[in-house]
Structure 1
Amino acid sequence: MIPLQAFRGRSLAVISAQCSLRSTRLFSVSTASQNAPASDPRTTPKKPHGIDPRWLTMTKRRIGRCMMFGLKPLQIQEAGEVLQQIANDWRELVAGSEGYLTDETRRGLFQQKVAWGEMFLTFTSTCLGHVNNVTYPRYAETARVYYTRNFAMHIDPAHKREWLNLVSSKGIGLILRSITIDYKFPMTYPDKVTVYHKLVHDPTSPKTPHHGFYLQAMIISEARQRPAARVHEDIVMYDYKANKKTELPPFVFEQFKATWKLQEQAKEFWQQRILDIETRVRTLETESWDREDAVEDTGSAK
């Protein structure tokens, strides 16, 4: 079992998919609704392939229903511990379970405030109530620059100058060939955004472009605690001196290989944490409202 701090602390920087851009129902683990038939508690949850965007909200509601029905002291303690874990690790549960590295030495943007001026305005200066769609590429571009600079400042300082040159027009640099954005919901002011990037393919895979690579980004609404947009970026490695495309430099290739391994480890680790939470919440349900002899605790009349 990989220790938790390996994916949350600074040690992540030194530990040695292509996902569908269109969002599917991110989590094959079901969430119980009030009218849904109870699932068999003996059934082992299947390994998740992703997390439902509303999984956090639904999990909190499920726990809330158990508490409203009535729990014993030990069950209340268990519910509190689960809620505390979700509160502490929600970014990792949402993004880490998809392979995004959320450590402070890896993230692009963190709790960037949404400005009122980023809202969509009509020619009469009337606010239509949501962040302008053209703002999301700026979030992604800014985060991508910081994603690259993180290699220079934290992960591979031995090649600091080379990494910094990648986001300039000196020597070998990065050019965005194309960007695709899948908007999930209209984000509004006030809010904050956090943006993570990840590699789409193992750099040793034949699916990786010969003269570049693909990145995916998750733009998260801190207020909603779920993705506001998903981004797919096609990056080209370009030699400005030779005026032509070029292959990934060896220092980039080696760091991307290590990063890919970390992504896979993070995905496995946080998906397992989700399954653990699902199991604990389901146990609370089957020990409270979702049992044959369940009687709601309405309090004493005395």
Structure 2
Amino acid sequence: MGEDGVMAELLADYRVVVELPVQWGEQDALGHVNHVNYFRWYETSRIVYAEKVGLMDLHRGERVGPILASVANDYRRQLVFPDTVHVGVRVTRIGVASISLEHKIFSRSQRALAAEGTSTLVVFDYNAQKPTRVPDAIRAAIEAMEGREFPRS
């Protein structure tokens, strides 16, 4: 199976995939991409997803938007420059005020999964400084993006 086939299989259920080049400066003294970059890549994929479902527009308009509650990562392979990573993100659960996500990082040069992780976003009212319900319009946009309905909590 070629590169595209392996990547397509690993990221098949991920509705948003962001392609990012590995930068020389992302490597550390140990000669591989430093762990903090994986979290930055997850962040980029989350923001792209949030843009696609209208959560960032909501933040710009009403100051209600995402805030990161948790993030975790499991490293599968070291990454080095040069490479290109494909970062997939998908929603796995919609709670009352939270959205759970899964992430995968695919290395183009290694043709393999490099990392996988999870994160939780909370829909946050920045004016009131407290969590708020996931708006029905955002829930509907996520369900449309994911091609399925999520149980209501």
TM class by shorter-chain length?
A: 0.7 to 0.9
Superposition pairs for residues 23-102 of structure 1, below 5 Å? 83=1, 86-96=2-12, 99-101=13-15
Take 1:193 and 1:117, find their aligned partners in 2: how far apart are those partners?
Answer: 15
Trace 1:1-302 onto structure 2 (pairs within 5 A).
83=1, 86-96=2-12, 99-101=13-15, 106-107=16-17, 109-110=18-19, 112-121=20-29, 128-152=30-54, 163-166=56-59, 170-201=62-93, 208-261=94-147
Q: Please list the CA deviations of residues 251-287 of structure 1 after superposition, one character each: whole Å capped at 9, or x if unmatched.
A: 1011122233269xxxxxxxxxxxxxxxxxxxxxxxx
Letter of the structure 1 residue corresponding to residue 72 of structure 2: T
Evaluate the alpha carbon distance shift between residue 262 and residue 224 of structure 1 in structure 2; reply closer, same or farther with a 3 A threshold: farther
Deviations 1:31-83 (A, max 9, x none): xxxxxxxxxxxxxxxxxxxxxxxxxxxxxxxxxxxxxxxxxxxxxxxxxxxx5
Q: Could you list the per-position Cα deviations for residues 6-48 of structure 1 after superposition, in whole angstroms to 9, with x for gaps in the alignment?
A: xxxxxxxxxxxxxxxxxxxxxxxxxxxxxxxxxxxxxxxxxxx
Tell me if the contact between 1:169 and 1:240 (Cα under 8 Å) persists in the aligned partners.
Answer: no
Shift of 1:219: 1.1
Quick one: distance in 2 between partners of 1:210 and 1:92?
Answer: 32
Show CA shifts across 1:107-129 (max 9, x none).
Answer: 2x21x1111110012xxxxxx22
Tell me which protein shows more helix as a share of its residues: 1
What TM-score do the two structures reach when normalised by structure 1?
Answer: 0.46
CA distance in 1 between partners of 2:7 and 2:148 (Å): 16
- 1:198 Cα shift? 0.4
Deviation at 1:211, TM superposition (A): 1.0
Is residue 119–residue 188 contact of structure 1 (8 Å, CA) maintained in 2? yes
Equivalent residue letter for 1:200? T
The runs of 5 or more residues in structure 1 that have no matched partner are 1-82, 122-127, 153-161, 202-207, 264-302
| CA spacing shift, 1:117–1:93, aligned 2, 3 Å | same
Aligned residues with identical type, % of pairs: 27
Which structure: larger Rg? 1
Q: Judging changes above 3 Å, is the alpha-carbon distance between structure 1 residues 199 and 189 closer, same or farther for their aligned structure 2 residues?
A: same
Between structures 1 and 2, the one with greater strand share: 2
- Number of corresponding residues: 149
Instruction: Measure the CA separation in 2 of the matches of 1:169 and 1:255.
Output: 17
Given that residues 103 and 118 in structure 2 are in contact (C-alpha distance below 8 angstroms), is that contact kept between their aligned partners in structure 1? yes
Superposition RMSD in Å: 2.2
Unpaired runs of at least 5, structure 2: none
- Seen in structure 2, the aligned counterparts of structure 1 residues 222 and 169 have a Cα distance that, compared at 3 Å, is farther
CA 1:131–1:245 in 2, change beyond 3 Å: closer, same or farther?
Answer: same
> 2:47 corresponds to which letter in structure 1?
V
> Structure 1 residues 151 and 253 mapped into 2: Cα distance closer, same or farther (>3 Å)?
closer
Shift of 1:209: 2.5
The 1:245/1:169 distance shift into structure 2, 3 A limit, reads farther
